Amino acid sequence: MNRLIKAELFRLKPRIPFMLLCTAVFASITVLNSLERIDQDLGTQIGGSAVIMMFALMILPCVFAAITGKLYDNGKLGRFEIMAGNRTAAIVFSKIFTDGIIFLIISVIGCCGYYVFVGFYRGTGSFDHALIRLLLIIIVLAHIVCCSILIALCLRRHAMGAVVCYIRFLLIDSAGIPFLMWLAGTVMGYEKLALHIAHTSLMNQMMILISEPVDSMIVLHVLIGFVAEFAIWYFIIDTGIKKRKIA
């Protein structure tokens, strides 16, 4: 896997200026979104971060999937990695340890960097358990990043990967999960089930982490949701790689 990681870093190198620009733009959007509350504490400013969270779900997965998919499909590199006999884990985790770490740094700086600064400089105010919330938000961002990469590896086409990421991270969160909540809670009368379904939405997870009390339910949904979806996409990739090796 070391050779795959080195190869991926080599392929990523020409795109570093673009990714630095993306980081600067994203961080600037976060600051501009908070200009009206710039002199207030974190507890007050964090309430306006919903726009940033929506941006993270709408735009970042598409960008990340497009970059990874382009690198993976460029010159049929993905096919060569498979035909060289590399294991699924080596191919997947070489991308996670390179693309994933860089994308996660971009996401954390863009989404959280300004708010971390505000917390240290002006205090956390009413925003309790700030460190725990920050760690959980980073896990949610890691969920977004890793699944974007996995979706790109499943489809092996950067344009299609970006489209599927948009459908996965926006339409399902904004339409599919609310429908299931309504079906379970209103139609079937299972209020507790509806609550659990609500906690599976990445957008809802982010909103809870910035505006509601943190309890064991949200922690478990953040952790289990990440592991479960990672496993699903990994299984799809592994099945596809095995078929290509046979073919």
Q: What is the pLDDT of residue 146?
A: 94
- Please state which of the ranges 1-15, 38-52, 190-204 shows the lowest mean pLDDT: 1-15
Is the separation of the CB atoms in 233 and 147 below 8 Å? yes
Q: What is the pLDDT of residue 223?
A: 95
- Please state which of the ranges 35-39, 41-45, 175-179, 181-185 shows the lowest mean pLDDT: 35-39
- Measured CA to CA, the distance from residue 247 to residue 63 in angstroms comes to 31
pLDDT above 60 (res 247): no
- Measured CA to CA, the distance from residue 48 to residue 210 in angstroms comes to 10
Q: What is the pLDDT of residue 157?
A: 67
Q: What is the pLDDT of residue 46?
A: 84
Is the separation of the CB atoms in 162 and 69 below 8 Å? yes
**Cα 159 to chain center, whole Å?**
18
Q: How confident is the model at residue 142 (pLDDT cuts 50, 70, 90)?
A: very high
pLDDT above 60 (res 76): no
**What predicted TM-score, i.e. pTM, was given to this entire model?**
0.90
Q: What is the pLDDT of residue 246?
A: 42
Q: How confident is the model at residue 230 (pLDDT cuts 50, 70, 90)?
A: very high
Q: What is the mean pLDDT of residues 208-234?
A: 92
Q: What is the mean pLDDT of residues 101-118?
A: 89
Q: How confident is the model at residue 72 (pLDDT cuts 50, 70, 90)?
A: confident
User: Hey, what are 240's tokens?
Assistant: 């596809």
Closest by Cα among 109, 94, 87 to 28: 109
CA dihedral angle for residue 177, residue 183, residue 185, residue 189, rounded to 10 degrees: -160
What lies within 8 Å, CB to CB, of 135 at 6+ separation is: none
Phi and psi, residue 176, nearest 5°: -65, -50
Closest by Cα among 39, 69, 205 to 148: 69
